[in-house]
Structure 1
């Protein structure tokens, strides 16, 4: 609470608060969006409607106001007036109208939330013994407005003046006349706080009241710096394109958090970028995916969901928060896993698919690194390396011919590779036994996805152990290579895209797969393998100090995302028919990937991504051009960095902006 409002309260004898858009905020972006919520609720609980409720409801209110003025010069109407016009003017059946009216009242009661800024002023009024009154131009019954205030924590006040009950409005000034007569005090003794220029400020002052105008979210957006203003304006425009109530609720949730209730929570830092990015872009993606996952897992009667590390850790946290709201939701477990830790123990023969995995990666590695990441001692294979056609262990594998030689090398040491696989398999199966996988008949695997190879490895390992289990994979997305796993009998489903379809969402992910993986980064190293320690099996985790700054940023992103999940989830608890569609869940992040601000391109582009598996990998920037001096001396470096960039759009955004050319 700022000093200006504190001083005004201390000078006042009474403090008056406007209700809607001041003391309480709706969960939707625009008041009329509530009618879409009512329609969705009706369709989900009662049945279909013959017309769009929103259009009929808006026109019924207009007609009711016109009738009230022309027939009796009334400046205010009631909810009953509106629904009477709906029946008479639009032929809505009485029973249907009654049900819709009841749902509208219920939606108002459930769909309003406290404005923490105004609540702090309200509490200060109580602490300083200032009498409080609430005033509203509203067609809802006075008792409904009272219940809304109570539900939002405003339980102690002396007066409540509602236009529908009194037939007088702030907009006309007649309600202020009624208040002054009721209180019997000097007008200047009343401080009125509200958001509307005319009814809360101009008319109140005209009747002698002191006023404090509460700034709306739209006005606050215009006062932000260019980057944050663009980010929130882009967010606010989302509901217009999507045209659904879920989009309206998303926008209202974001604006309420970032501009009103508590502003930014970015622990240990003055930088709000990562928290806001998580709240705006990652939160809806996580919530949408987990909502979809819950519905599928319950339908499939999965016994336990295993969330694979590292991408699955944040997903498990979201799941564990949301799942108690869903009946028959399966329990969850965090399963330490990685391509290296699962795929190597699953090797039984060096077929072409296994060789594809062993030579995989986009970074240019030395022969010795390919051997080390399998857990082999390179010094034992110098002869085999030369026989395969390499000059030595330190030769880099660059060309197609080099990769043919590498496959030849692996075939020549197949027995040694299988020996490593057998040894690691025994330990890994003990770990599976410890987490209960070997005892389950129907399990779910949850991961970010893409190719589904880890699910295939788990299935192979269970078969090798003599166990049979029905495994279903649930993924954020899968690409076309995952179809081969499906053809091998792996059951899998995906939220955003399955086997690369629809292409529109697949294309959005492919703009920068690495940023999707950054959102899911866990605060621990990748699993290298498993080892027995003091009679127990534990994962051996990579220790990489270079990833710690990246993990700190990812943690801030995930804090923001979890706050969004909690706040959007609170709405979902009240209206369980709401559905975060894949398109809506992806759209905020899609806007960043497709058309980033310079700030977004710089901050996200400066992240480094490790390419490889095991403890052998190379790090490259997501999208970072060379410094201006480097580019001037060596113009080709601009092209080289572009080819190396994971996020081409972000790279080009930086290249077009002098400020984006951040020197190395």
Structure 2
């Protein structure tokens, strides 16, 4: 299975060869329609009815019959079942047309003729708009026609032959293909009699073969009618191999749509889908980013914000989304993208030795040297060699574990000088921020989140200049220890975890989720290292690191997949009320990806490097550490150093974290 996932093109090539070989000696190729020739961009047919209902509710039409519109998905299914019961009682078969279904629908609901007709027309319209061709079968059909073979469509469906023909033509198939459909013949493939009709349309000298996805209707019954058949399990295999992280919950509308549209993207562009980074963008991060975006917009509409600031560099992708879709989704506030980082703001914001905040400057999982720590902070260590000796650090290049008490002692000894230096650096940071933040504004911030360090730093820096501003941050997650950054005019919100109120995903995020998200949201530019003044303007100084550029390249592939996913869905989603998409279920594929990676995912993503501490992208560690040996001690040590412990567990077959 993993080999197939790594080779999407090989998977397609295998299926193309299988179908080509199957039809080679045939004179007539009979094809099932749905999930063989064409697919829907949804998980299951009832999702079509939900789309119809939500679109009409958004249009605010038929307000006098809103209960019928609201309940349409279940009523539509019930009406179809009742129509089949009625036809069976009268004619001894279950095959019904769409018109017959809606006649029963009107009897059940007592709706007006106008609503009945509008629902029927809307259903057909939605079906056509979300239908696409299977690219393998499209090639097979076109080649078969060129080779002089006859193609016939054979479907168990309530749609008329004309409607089915229109649908496949709209998906790209040639016009004029004959259609044999159950609702027009009073029998089906399921009962076997539709194959009798198929055979009667051709001479006994012509070899007929059939291709379809349903094991009973397309395979068992074709065999009973002595027709060679091929079980076309392409879509089911796609779901099994590439969508293992998706929830199987069928009542979750967001999940059903995201599954269907993600499948559409992979099937429609196998060249791109061959790239595992792109795949993950489509199937894992795209749904997560879209769910967060809807949550962000909903919160922006609730508040009266002067503007929203997207913070580099994790806010890059969402700044693009906001620029493209915010207006069409009803949010109209100014936005700007600003270059900040914990490395450039947290240290200048220090007005006291708050160790929780300061730790973020030199903490991490890798060993460090005092010399390296001071260089990153801009501290002239040569002035404090005596304090280093007094702290027990005689060699400033000694490799020291994170949390070593000697580092704490050193900073206590140089604390006054540290605060003075922070004050000196604060001025240029504040001048940069003043380009975007003014007195009395209420500003929304978009960033990835976690401890609220950047928001807290911005707030403290602005207050140091006498500027009061209300900052409200909207993040993927806020951990309980964000309280260290609480201010009177600061508010923090988390989509996945929210301080002390929503914590059930803390373990997922703290054991790889944070680092994977930061990797996936990396902008195509370096982190902000500092600020410089030129011609009375303040400009950010961005890091230029070859290793970081490699990370940016991989992240760009993920974001391309995520962008394609969001773009493919947005035209449909804007036709419905976005409040129905306010759900954390968009994150389920990501959560499962973190907790239950495949072996291939653990290997591939595990070698990605991540900055060992905030603002230290030059110091990077792999998400999964490699044990020095196979001894239990070395394995345990490597596990503790690994950011992504679930992947480590997968690779080294550990039973628990």
**Structure-2-length-normalised TM-score:** 0.81
2:343 aligns to what? 340
Question: Matches of 1:539 and 1:329 in 2, distance apart?
Answer: 28
TM alignment of 1:443-522, pairs within 5 A: 443-465=443-465, 467-512=467-512, 513-522=514-523
Question: Matches of 1:615 and 1:577 in 2, distance apart?
Answer: 38
> Aligned-pair distance for 1:156?
2.9
> Aligned-pair distance for 1:640?
1.9
1:78 aligns to what? 97
1:262 aligns to what? 269
1:217 aligns to what? 235
| 1:201–1:328 CA distance, 2 compared to 1 (3 A) | same
TM alignment of 1:177-216, pairs within 5 A: 188=206, 194-196=212-214, 199-200=217-218, 214-216=232-234
Q: Secondary structure at the match of 1:188?
A: coil
* Aligned 8 A contact 2:611 2:618 in 1: yes
Q: Show structure 2 runs of 5+ residues with no match.
A: 1-12
Question: Matches of 2:277 and 2:613 in 1, distance apart?
Answer: 26
1:25 aligns to what? 39
Question: Matches of 1:51 and 1:315 in 2, distance apart?
Answer: 32
* Aligned 8 A contact 1:113 1:152 in 2: yes
Question: Matches of 1:202 and 1:184 in 2, distance apart?
Answer: 21
Question: Matches of 1:108 and 1:94 in 2, distance apart?
Answer: 22
1:620 aligns with 2:621: yes
Q: Show structure 1 runs of 5+ residues with no match.
A: 223-228, 659-664
> Aligned-pair distance for 1:529?
0.3
* Aligned 8 A contact 2:132 2:171 in 1: yes
Question: Matches of 2:281 and 2:617 in 1, distance apart?
Answer: 30
* Aligned 8 A contact 1:340 1:528 in 2: yes
Q: Secondary structure at the match of 1:538?
A: strand
Deviation digits for residues 228-271 of structure 1 (CA, Å, limit 9, x no counterpart): x3x63453xx133x63122222233344444x3333516xxx7x
Q: 2:298 aligns with which of 286, 291, 295?
A: 295
1:108 aligns to what? 127
Q: Secondary structure at the match of 2:597?
A: coil
| 1:382–1:511 CA distance, 2 compared to 1 (3 A) | closer
Q: Secondary structure at the match of 1:475?
A: strand
Deviation digits for residues 346-380 of structure 1 (CA, Å, limit 9, x no counterpart): 34555667655556555543333332222232112
> Aligned-pair distance for 1:477?
1.0
Deviation digits for residues 528-554 of structure 1 (CA, Å, limit 9, x no counterpart): 101235775432223333344444433
> Aligned-pair distance for 1:450?
0.9
Q: Secondary structure at the match of 1:286?
A: helix
Q: CA RMSD in A?
A: 4.1
> Aligned-pair distance for 1:400?
6.4
> Aligned-pair distance for 1:610?
2.2
* Aligned 8 A contact 2:55 2:576 in 1: yes
Question: Matches of 1:14 and 1:331 in 2, distance apart?
Answer: 61
1:251 aligns to what? 259
> Aligned-pair distance for 1:342?
1.8
Q: Secondary structure at the match of 1:511?
A: helix
Question: Matches of 1:370 and 1:445 in 2, distance apart?
Answer: 29
| 1:590–1:78 CA distance, 2 compared to 1 (3 A) | same
Deviation digits for residues 7-37 of structure 1 (CA, Å, limit 9, x no counterpart): 8889888766543222321222233444454
Q: Secondary structure at the match of 2:472?
A: strand
1:63 aligns with 2:82: yes
2:243 aligns to what? 232
> Aligned-pair distance for 1:447?
0.4
- Of 333-342 and 594-603, deviating more is 594-603
1:278 aligns to what? 281
**Structure-1-length-normalised TM-score:** 0.80
- Of 91-100 and 282-291, deviating more is 91-100
